[in-house]
Amino acid sequence: MSTSTTSRPEIDVVSLNAELEGLDAGQRVALLAERFAGRVLATTSFGLQAAVMLKLLKDHAPAIPVVFIDTGYLFADTYRYGARLEEELGFRARVYQPNITAARQEALHGQQWEEGLEGREQYALIHKIEPMNRALQELGADVWISGLRRSQSSTRSGRAIVERQSRTLKIYPIIDWDDGQVERYMREKALPRHPLAAAGYVTMGDWHSTTPGKKSASESTRFNGEKYECGLHLDSGDQDFQI
């Protein structure tokens, strides 16, 4: 059941950023779980480095609900990897899907991801943004934890730990981790790897919009190199969330 946000106090983004800057990732997650209990959720894509945030949540904030947006077009290996992480880390993601099946979407609208910028934005709205809005509403959340990192792409290089997207506060506990830190954490915690990491993938999304590529050119492996953000983590000026 959703919780009304009308009586919730306004969050000072500048002060929260300053407070989180002085903490490590685990401390950040623990603080968010305590301060925003009942109004915070986390998301996972079950992507290449998803295990890092999921392990941090497991160890420091196991009560925070984890949302998985299932577009219907993910790699089979991604679904299997997600099931393995759930089993090994002992949690169950709350799955949100589009209100239209993949078969019906293609029958009525075609393969929108091949129809230029307008088609891709409409695809993102139907398959990612609307389900995410629904998750925020149903879980009564206005604080959203994500595993974005600055080093992943140029669109993320200038992001702060905390930012506001419409009425939703987005917080990135590992935003300042580089690839080396991620790799060390994966090894230290013996976290399982996404099967497609060994196949040359350096980023992960829908099968129709993601290709293998070099780490130094990861932005060219998404959407034919024309954009990097998947629709949930929006570029400046893109369609915003409703809540």
| 239 in any annotated domain | no
The per-residue pLDDT of the chain, averaged, comes to: 86
Predicted local distance difference test score (pLDDT) of residue 232: 67
Whether 241 is covered by a domain: the verdict is no
| pLDDT tens readout for residues 94-138 | 999 999 998 998 999 888 888 888 888 899 999 999 999 999 999
3 domain residue, yes or no: no
CATH number at residue 88: 3.40.50.620
- pLDDT at residue number 228: 43
In a domain, 30, yes or no: yes
Catalytic residue among 230, 231, 232, 234: 230
Residue 4 lies inside a defined structural domain of this protein: no
Amino acid at 124: A
- Average pLDDT, stretch 220-230? 46
Q: 83: pLDDT confidence band, cut at 50, 70 and 90?
A: very high
In a domain, 193, yes or no: yes
**Catalytic residue status for 230:** yes
Q: Where in the sequence is the domain holding 30, given as residue range(s)?
A: 13-225
237 inside domain: no
Q: What is the number of domains present in the chain?
A: 1
Task: Rank 68-82, 113-127, 160-174, 225-239 by mean pLDDT and report only the highest.
Answer: 68-82
pLDDT, position 181: 95
Question: Model's pTM, two decimal places?
Answer: 0.84
Residue-wise pLDDT tens digits, 175-204: 999 999 999 999 999 999 999 998 888 888
